[in-house]
A and B are shown apart, each in its own frame.
Chain A
Amino acid sequence: DGGITQSPKYLFRKEGQNVTLSCEQNLNHDAMYWYRQDPGQGLRLIYYSQIVNDFQKGDIAEGYSVSREKKESFPLTVTSAQKNPTAFYLCASSTSGGWTEAFFGQGTRLTVV
C-alpha cells in the first residue's frame, strides 16, 4: 500500500541523548516535512525538504537536524540541544511544495525520561 510510515510509534529517551525518528514514503513525492505538536496545540514546522539533498529550516529548527539522501526517506534527529523534546512528531509528504496536497504519517510520540 502507498503511504507514509513513521517509526517507532513510541520512543523513550534519556536526557542528553540524541535520537533519530524515521519517516519513509512510497508515494514518489518530492517534498517532505517534519512537524512538532505539543499537547493541546497546533502543528509547528521543524524542517522541510523539496528535493533530495536539500532541506530548509522551518519555524522551530533549533535542536533538530535532518538529512535527505534518498527521495523516500527524511529522518529527523532530536539532539541533546533541544530543550523540550517531549512531543508528538508528525512527518508529511506532498508532490512538490506546500502548494500541493500533503499526506501525513501516524506520528511518533517522544518522551524524555
Chain B
Amino acid sequence: GIQVEQSPPDLILQEGANSTLRCNFSDSVNNLQWFHQNPWGQLINLFYIPSGTKQNGRLSATTVATERYSLLYISSSQTTDSGVYFCAVGGKPNFGNEKLTFGTGTRLTIIP
C-alpha cells in the first residue's frame, strides 16, 4: 500500500510565527487530505487537495503530485492552532486502493 511520511514530528512555535508541515507519499494518489485533530480528538477537515494549491484564511496547502509531496502552511499562528495535523492519502480507484492511509502526524504547539 501507499506509505505516508510527515515531518517534522513535533514543532513548537511562538504565537505569530509561520510554519510549514510536509507530507511525502510513495505512490500516485487521487486523494490527499489535511486534518487538524483538536484536543477532544475530533478530526477537522482542512483541505482536500490531491493536486494544486488552496487557501483558507491563514492556512494554505500545496500538493505537487508529480513529486509526491504536499505542504501545509500556517501563517500568524495562534494558540488555537495547537494540536496534531494529519495528512491522509487515497490511491487511484483500483482494487486495493479503496482505503485512506494516514501519516503519523505533526504535533504543533503554539506558545503564547
Contacts and interface: CB of A to CB of B under 8 A. Distances in A.
Interface of A: 31, 33, 35, 37, 41-45, 48, 50, 56, 58, 88, 90, 92, 94, 97-104, 106-107, 109
Contacts of B35: 104
B31 A100 contact: yes
B21 interface: no
A97 B97 contact: yes
Interface residues of B, number: 26
A80 to B, nearest CB: 25
Contact of B98 (A35, A48, A90): A48
Contacts of B43: 90, 92, 104
Contact of A43 (B42, B86, B92, B93): B86
Contact of A88 (B31, B41, B98, B101): B41
Contacts of A88: 41
Contact of B102 (A43, A56, A107, A109): A43
A37 B40 CA distance: 13
A102 B88 contact: yes
